Structure formats: C-alpha cells, structure tokens
Structure 1
Amino acid sequence: MSPSTSTQATRESSRVALVTCSLFPSLWDDDHPLRDALLATGIPVDVVRWDDPTADWSSYASVVLRSPWDYVARRDEFVAWAHSVPGLLNPADVVEWNTDKRYMRELAEAGAPITPTTYVSPGETWQPPSDGEWVVKPTVSAGSQDTGRYALPSQLDLAEAHVARLTSLGRTAMIQPYLSAVDTAGETALLYFADASGRLTFSHAARKGPMLTGPDEGKINPGSENITARIASPSELATADKVLAAIPERFQNLLYARVDVIPGPDGLPLLLELELTEPSLFLRTAPAAATRLAQAIRTRL
C-alpha cells in the first residue's frame, strides 16, 4: 500500500457521524463549527439522522450525538437505537439514564445541589403548594417541550391540568420552583469536554436568558433562546464540580457535559439540569471551543 493510499485508509477508518434528526437535517447551526473543525483536521464527517434506516453505524469510528431532538415521543425506540450503535458518544447507558430527568434524584443523593423537585408519576396525586411561581414539565423532554410556568394560586387550575395531562399520558411530571434570578442574572451553562486523559475539563460558559413566560409555552425551538458568552463565577464552577463528581461511577468515557445552574434564593448556584445526551454546546460563544471538542473526538479515534 502506498503512503497516499495508507493515509486515505486511515482517514476513512476515522469517519465520524454527527447525529441529528429530520428537524435539522444539516445539523443545528451551533454544531457547524464542530463539523468544520473536524473536517479541518482531516477527519471525514457525515451528518446522519438517528432514525435513518439506511445508516451503517458500524462503518463509523465514532458516532457523536448532537441534535436528535425529535426522540422525545419515541424515547424507548431512541434508547434501543443507542444501545445498538457501536462507538456512540456519549455512550448508550448514559443516554438511557440522562434522557429521563429523574436522574436528578440520584445526583441529589450523591450531594449535588439541585433545584428542589417534586415528581408526580401516573396514578399519583399532586399536592400543589399554596402560592409562588412554579414550573411544570415532563421528565422526558427536549427544547422545553410541554413545559409551563404558573403563578399560584391564580393559575392553580392550569397547573393541575398540566400535571394531569402529562400523567394521563403515562408520563411523569416534575414540578420545580421558578427561580426568579433567571429574569435578571440568567441561567449559566458550563461546558466540559474530555481532555487527552479522558477527564472532563471546563471549556467555556454561556448565559441563557429566560424562555418561559406562561403556561405550557415551551417548544422545541433552540433559536428562541437568548445565548451570550459568560465568564463563569467561582461558585458556579464549584457547583459544577460537585455535579460532575456526583455522576455515577458506572458511566465512563464521557465526551462532553453541560451543567446548567442558576442562583437559588440564597444566591448560591443550584443545578437545573445535567445534560449528557444531546445538549446545545454553544460553540459560537467561544471561538476555540469547537477546536477543543474536535480534538477530544480525535483523541478517541
């Protein structure tokens, strides 16, 4: 085999699939910098729908989840697909755990400071608080689908109807206090990518503005978020460290993580979500972020 043929064979054996869905057949545009950074290092890239029946997943050295955001109504199918894909990043066992937000219980038990959360499963009755603002959402969701914000007691009937609608469909509802700091300080997303040793290392942070303005208004529409660059505070980084330390030890080989925090009533950051499956990584807010992630993928190859 000639040197040029050998180089080509190596490149083909390193082909990467960036996984999307029919809503974003060319990727969500925040992932274009990652695609371009991979191509710039000579790594062939395909953009593939997770449910594409013609996809040969075994032909890829790595399959990286990016924007498969239509899986919510078909989560069981999506999880089964994940378990069938070799080289999936993040791995299938992480996908199964992280696509149901009841994982927050496990993080809380391990010492992570989470937003107080009540879960209402099918057949259970919700005992609503007497007042305050509250967020109702399903434990399986993406892009704030089926999510609403309610002021009690004036919107109690709407909040109860939302919980009842979710549970009647066999879904588990989760209820959290609406943290008013999102309207001023905003939410902070802290992004972590694997370094050369495989350890998650802080890359950059972004500010997310408020999205919810009323009952059940959340949609699968990432473009509606107001995203800007942010410098993470020491307390936010410390909270993220606690969250990452609380990830169960059975989950290895993580390529990326996004830790979403917001100031609680006492001003200290609380975890809203730990995103390990298909988060927006806000690569456009940090010019070198896509290169760092591409290097992390290259290291896996």
Structure 2
Amino acid sequence: MVQDPFHLAIVTGRFAPQLSDGGQQVATALAERGIDSDPVMWNDPTVDWRRFDGVLVRSCWEYPEDRGRFQTMLDEIEDAGVPICNPLSVLRWNLHKSYLPALDREGVQIPATTVIKQGTDTSLEEVIRTSGWDDVVVKPAIGAMSSDVWRTSATEVAESEQRFTDHVTDHDVLVQEFVPEISAGERSIVFFGGEYSHAWNSLPAEDDVTEFDGIDAEYDPHPRSGGRLGQYYSRHVRSSVSKRTAFRTPESITYTVMMTFYSWN
C-alpha cells in the first residue's frame, strides 16, 4: 500500500502570497524529500487545517495589523490538533515584545528597555526623564517590519507626545535606549540545534536607522560568535522559552535560534 506524502501548510501573508524566495527554497527542499506543501494565507478564515499533516509559519509580516485574527489562527490550528513549528506556546510568547525583558532576566544582553502598558497615564517626556536616556526608540510591543517605529530624543520629545499618547491608548509600547551601532546594520546569526549555521547583516536606510530597505549584506561573524558565545546565548534563550511557555526542547527536537546583534566590537 502506497502511503500518501506528508502534506505541509506553509503559512504566509500578502507580501509573499506564493511564498518568499526563501520560502520557495524551503518548499523545493521539502519536495525533494517527498513532502508536499501549499502556501496558506494566515488571515484566511476558510482554511481547514485538518487537511494538513503539519504547519510551518513563515512570512506573516503584516500580522500586527490584525492581531486578533492571527491569534485566532493559532487557536484554530490548536483545535485542529495539527503539529506546528515553532510550537504554539513559543509563537504566542514571541508575539509580544515583553519577551525582551524576559530574555534580559536570563542574562541575554538587550538594549535598555521599558514596557509601557496600554492605557498607562504617562508621557514620553516622563519616561525619558525617569530612565535618564537622551536618545530613544519607540515601537509597538506587537509589531513587525519597523512599522510605527520612530526615534526621538529628550530635546525633541514634545513633537512625539501626541503620537506616543495615541499608541499607548491603543496598545502596549516599548521605549528603548537608542543603540548607535545599529547604523552599521542589524546582524542576525542563526543556529540550528545550538550549532552555527549562517549569518547576514540587514542594513538600515541611510536617512533613518529605524527603517530597513531589505538590503542584506554579507556578514562573516567572529569565530566566537559561532562558537562559545553562540552556545551561551542559545542556551539562555532556550532557558527563557522553557520557563515562560509550555514548550520544552527535548534532545529529539531540532530547534532554531536566530539572534540579532548590533555590534561585535
């Protein structure tokens, strides 16, 4: 009896409805290994997840525009009982950037960050003054693609107060100390199962370091980045995920950690 091939849903969005270049490469590699796959839009409520043997979440970059629908999709997949990568608990944990302070508490170095809860009665001027920072970046706690991210300073904060108030009225907000090294690029290092795989450097726009033009430069990290330091961060990220979600990473699971850094001085 011939067994039907494994059928995988690759979840994507409007910026790559037929999958991104990387997603298409994944689909090709899977097909070579006998796994069928179909692109599925994350915001399509008609999808019957039960017709798939597994789900892989890929290019859902616009999900912050309809956070409720994205969370509903995760609930639908859970109700269908279909395996998903990454696990649902990890995806839900990763939706809100409160994971950054959680990683900080585990020893992963991040830019100094303050989380402002939705509806908090405070001003951006007060946040900057209390923190002692001169230059800050403000962003939604649930966001992607640098949408609604802006930079301001203690001397220019008055120009941003209304924008800040509007955002805090609608959702949680992060205020972070500006890290000037970002002007040299956002360097991403990927590990599979704790082993270094590859890296790249995403370059910001020349006139605005909070915007990225989709230009990736080659980046060959220092050997320590792919060795002891990478294992250190991988271990601490894994620890934080395990503590704050129902997900555990047994040895039989190959997990991926992508770490983004601003400088390797």
Mark yes or no: TM-score above 0.5.
Answer: yes
Match of 2:94 among 93, 98, 107: 98
Asked whether the equivalents of residues 112 and 242 of structure 1 are also in contact (C-alpha less than 8 Å), the reply is no
Cα RMSD (Å): 2.5
Higher relative contact order (CA 8 A, sep 6+): 1
Q: Distance in 1 between matches of 2:50 and 2:218?
A: 37
Distance 1:73 1:161 in 2: 21
Deviation at 1:213, TM superposition (A): 4.0
Compared CA separation, residues 242 and 124, structure 1 to 2 (3 A): farther
Q: Which whole-Å CA distance do the structure 1 matches of 2:141 and 2:162 have between them?
A: 17
Structure 1 unaligned runs (5+)?
A: 194-198, 268-301
- The corresponding residue for 2:134 is 132
Tell me the matched-pair count: 244
Counterparts in 2 of 1:106 and 1:89: CA distance versus 1, 3 Å: same
Partner of 2:112 in structure 1?
116
Contact 1:179–1:263 under 8 Å retained in 2: no
Which amino acid in 1 is paired with 2:234? Answer: D
Distance 1:212 1:151, change over 3 A: farther
Q: What secondary structure does 2:176 align onto?
A: strand
Identical aligned residues as a percent: 24
Give 1:260-279 correspondences, 5 Å limit.
260-263=260-263, 267=265
Q: Which aligned runs of 4 or more in structure 1 are off by greater than 6 angstroms?
A: none
Shift of the alpha carbon at 1:102? Answer: 0.6
- Residue 229 of structure 1 deviates from its aligned partner by 2.7
Preserved CA contact (<8 Å) 2:43 2:69: no
Distance change (3 Å), C-alpha of 1:61 and 1:39: same
Does the alignment pair 1:168 with 2:162? Answer: no
Q: Is the contact made by 2:8 and 2:38 (CA closer than 8 Å) also made in structure 1? A: yes
- Distance (whole Å) between structure 1 residues aligned to residue 24 and residue 224 of structure 2: 31
Q: What residue number does 2:189 align with?
A: 190
Aligned match of 2:52? 60
Contact 2:113 2:176 in 1 (8 A): yes
TM-score (norm 1): 0.73
Partner of 2:146: 144
Question: Between Structure 1 and Structure 2, which shows a larger proportion of strand residues?
Answer: 2
Deviation at 1:42, TM superposition (A): 2.2
1:230 aligns with one of 193, 212, 219? 219
Tell me how far apart the structure 1 counterparts of residues 47 and 206 of structure 2 sit (CA, whole Å): 37
